[in-house]
Chain A
Amino acid sequence: MTDVLLEIDNLSVDYETARGDLKALRNISFDVRKAEIVGIVGESGCGKSTLISSILRLIAPNTRFRSGEIRFDGSDLLKATEREMRALRGDEISIVFQDPMQTHNPVLSVGQQMIDIQHRSKAPKGEKREKAAQMLAAVGIPDPEARLDQFPHEFSGGMRQRIAIAMALMSEPNLLIADEPTTALDATLEVQIIERLQELQREMDCAILFISHHLGVIAELCDRVVVMYAGAVVESGDVRKIFHEPKHPYTRRLIECDPGHIKTRARILPTIPGEVPDLANIPDGCIFRDRCNQATERCMAHVPPLESVGEEHMAACWLNHEEVTA
């Protein structure tokens, strides 16, 4: 147990709305161990963002935590005071956001911003500046000393995202949350960012929670994967298990839908017909049942629990139970 860094245990989060409570996250459980990379995949609206904002407690006023714990280094973040959370953010837990173009302050030089975020350190300004230059060099920005005086608009998109990573890693956090950090970048830059993240992760021994739509990136970067659908974890486990022997129909369909998975040219691409259920009015049974072509009566009435289906592999599907009993 000592190697677990972040433990999400039975977390349920609602948004209070005029239409009633929107059940954005329901009984989420998974963990991130020290110095590993965990990927989270799932459709837009599956609760990935709610999950991140719950961990950092950067939440909308109508957010309600209904059950569960978020344990970081053993202590429950949901019980932490705002002051304690502030001390944690940007120090032990850092985040890199999706859009590199909007993540920096346009009117301050990059160096100034990198010095500002070291506000906790008592070191003299010159030292802070030196550290900023070192971090820029570490993410592969050439001529870092001179570039500290430049403004965000003088950098390309890929460089800005690398600067965001440099800033997030400055405090040597134990956990880095990366929210679709490569979505806005082309393939060559995407690969650069992934490789850089891997290198830095090994050097600094920090854990990464990596959120992405891009299954190729997840397959390449992550040790373990959590698959979310409509506010629930449907499958989690070792990256090879998830991609090679998926045990939940949703995971299987998701992988089939990836055009990167289809080798011969196809004009018509596979899709998952149907819509995500209304989270303010959740149907009985399995959350995926209406879009699942293998659903049975049992799936209509009862929610399948997330249970072990093998070593380092969990899934929430009744089909696996039938296999076991048969």
Chain B
Amino acid sequence: MTLLSVDNLKTSYGPVNVLAGISFDVAPGETYALVGESGSGKTTVIRAIAGLAPAQEGSVKFDGQQIRGIPERSLRPLRKDMAMMFQDPVGSLSPRMTIGKLITEPYKIQGMRDRDLDAEAKRLLEMVNLPAHFANRYPYQLSGGQARRVGVARALALEPKLILADEPTAGLDVSVQGELLNLLNDLRERLGLAMVIITHNLSVVKHVADRMGIMYLGRLVEEGTTETIFESPRHPYTRCLLSANPEPDPDARLERIALKGEPPSLLNRPTGCEFRERCPFSQNICTNTPAWETSDGHGHRCLAPLT
């Protein structure tokens, strides 16, 4: 069963093709992590899914319905089932609205006039472990962690089927990060919530994601279950990325695989394998263009995959 199905999604801003064909599926109740270099297009993917960024080609099916390029008017009712958690926790909250107004705004937008908004605000604050009197506060009175939780409350107000979370724990300390991830996990278990989560924190991915996709220059270069990817990455970029994760132990001796050079310009994509100029394992055949190959649900885009 598939809740979200993204197929060959492409986005260009003028001559810059930010997404060069992205395909992945998310099942109900599943957590899918998107990781990759800054600028590889992760945020554009989820914004394009939510209809907040343009996508010129490809398809996005949500609950079986094609939603790419449909007018805002048709998209709005679907937003009940698909919520976004934005990257900047304080910046995504209007500074002139109280927390109570902010977390019940989704009901107003969806025209649910029969709801008792005060009661809903109380329920939502309780759900994210914030005291009820926070309903009267303004965003500037919140800490980063509290603002994140307000973002969660807002995203969950309408009990969506899917959450698109862009760096939901960036800048949070480990304890608050744990609280937030546990809260999302609890909702996943109770409501069957599916999630697409973007994060730079590979330790978080390891613990919360069922499957993960690794992006490089606007394409997926590898995809599979989190366990498989961490245990036996096939694409050299994935291997470099995983080897970079710093360990909280001063005596840890990490075998880092250094990435050469800088990410290439999207205006001037390399020929052949787009990673080959930076790849520590590149070979002669890498001047050819690699196709997406998959076996047992583990896919990669590499002509000389690691074993």
Q: How far is the CA of A257 from the CA of B247 in the complex (A)?
A: 13
**Are the CB atoms of B175 and A268 closer together than 8 Å?**
no
**Are the CB atoms of A240 and B251 closer together than 8 Å?**
yes
Interface of chain B residues 183 through 236 with chain A (CB within 8 A): 185, 200-204, 206-208, 226-227
Known contacts A44-B172, A157-B39, A269-B182; is-contact A187 B143 (Cβ 8 Å)? no
A259 CB–B CB distance under 8 Å: yes
Inter-chain contacts of B244 with A (CB < 8 A): 187-188, 190-191
**Are the CB atoms of A259 and B175 closer together than 8 Å?**
no
Q: How far is the CA of A42 from the CA of B175 in the complex (A)?
A: 10
Of the residues B207, B245, B262, contact of A159 by C-beta under 8 Å: B262
**Are the CB atoms of A259 and B203 closer together than 8 Å?**
yes
Q: How far is the CA of A145 from the CA of B128 in the complex (A)?
A: 52
B144 CB–A CB distance under 8 Å: yes
Inter-chain contacts of B246 with A (CB < 8 A): 187, 190-191, 194, 214, 216-217, 219-220, 260
**Are the CB atoms of A265 and B247 closer together than 8 Å?**
no
Interface residues on A, range: 35 or more
Inter-chain contacts of A255 with B (CB < 8 A): 248
**Are the CB atoms of A44 and B207 closer together than 8 Å?**
no
Inter-chain contacts of B245 with A (CB < 8 A): 187, 216, 260
Chain B minimum-CB-distance residue to A186: B200
Chain B minimum-CB-distance residue to A45: B143
Interface of chain B residues 242 through 295 with chain A (CB within 8 A): 244-252, 254, 256, 259, 261-263
A156 CB–B CB distance under 8 Å: yes
* A186 CB to nearest chain B CB (Å): 5
Inter-chain contacts of A158 with B (CB < 8 A): 38
Known contacts A156-B39, A159-B262, A243-B249; is-contact A44 B176 (Cβ 8 Å)? yes
* A89 CB to nearest chain B CB (Å): 25
Interface of chain B residues 124 through 152 with chain A (CB within 8 A): 143-145
Known contacts A142-B261, A191-B256; is-contact A254 B174 (Cβ 8 Å)? yes
* A134 CB to nearest chain B CB (Å): 19
**Are the CB atoms of B247 and A253 closer together than 8 Å?**
no
Interface of chain B residues 26 through 79 with chain A (CB within 8 A): 35-39
Interface residues on B, range: 35 or more
* A204 CB to nearest chain B CB (Å): 23
Inter-chain contacts of B256 with A (CB < 8 A): 191
B181 CB–A CB distance under 8 Å: yes
Chain A minimum-CB-distance residue to B173: A43
* A220 CB to nearest chain B CB (Å): 5
Task: Identify whether the interface residues of A are mostly helix, strand, loop, or mixed.
Answer: helix
Of the residues B38, B240, B248, contact of A260 by C-beta under 8 Å: B248
Inter-chain contacts of B206 with A (CB < 8 A): 259, 265
B304 CB–A CB distance under 8 Å: no
A293 CB–B CB distance under 8 Å: no
A107 CB–B CB distance under 8 Å: no
Q: How far is the CA of A156 from the CA of B245 in the complex (A)?
A: 20
**Are the CB atoms of B175 and A43 closer together than 8 Å?**
yes
Of the residues A188, A214, A219, A270, contact of B178 by C-beta under 8 Å: A270
The listed residue with most A CB atoms (<10 A of its CB), out of B35, B203, B208, B256, is B203
Known contacts A43-B175, A44-B173, A259-B201; is-contact A219 B248 (Cβ 8 Å)? yes
* A311 CB to nearest chain B CB (Å): 16
**Are the CB atoms of A43 and B248 closer together than 8 Å?**
no
Inter-chain contacts of B172 with A (CB < 8 A): 44, 213
* A49 CB to nearest chain B CB (Å): 11
Known contacts A156-B263, A265-B206; is-contact A219 B247 (Cβ 8 Å)? yes
A262 CB–B CB distance under 8 Å: yes
B171 CB–A CB distance under 8 Å: yes
Q: How far is the CA of A272 from the CA of B145 in the complex (A)?
A: 14
Inter-chain contacts of A22 with B (CB < 8 A): none
The listed residue with most A CB atoms (<10 A of its CB), out of B145, B204, B248, B251, is B248
**Are the CB atoms of B175 and A271 closer together than 8 Å?**
yes
**Are the CB atoms of A188 and B173 closer together than 8 Å?**
no
**Are the CB atoms of B207 and A183 closer together than 8 Å?**
no
B241 CB–A CB distance under 8 Å: yes
A8 CB–B CB distance under 8 Å: no
A300 CB–B CB distance under 8 Å: no
Chain A minimum-CB-distance residue to B179: A271
Encode contact with B along A257-280: 1 for CB under 8 Å, 0 otherwise.
111111001111111100000000
**Are the CB atoms of B248 and A258 closer together than 8 Å?**
yes
**Complex A-B, nearest 10 residue pairs according to Cβ-Cβ distance, in ascending order:** A216-B246, A269-B178, A259-B203, A260-B203, A215-B248, A187-B244, A271-B178, A257-B174, A43-B173, A272-B175
24 A-B pairs, CB-CB below 8 angstroms?
A42-B173, A142-B262, A156-B39, A157-B39, A184-B38, A184-B170, A186-B35, A186-B36, A186-B200, A187-B200, A188-B259, A213-B171, A219-B246, A244-B251, A255-B248, A258-B203, A259-B177, A259-B203, A259-B207, A265-B207, A270-B178, A271-B178, A271-B179, A271-B182
Query: Which positions in B face A, CB cutoff 8 Å?
Result: 35-39, 143-145, 170-179, 181-182, 185, 200-204, 206-208, 226-227, 240-241, 244-252, 254, 256, 259, 261-263
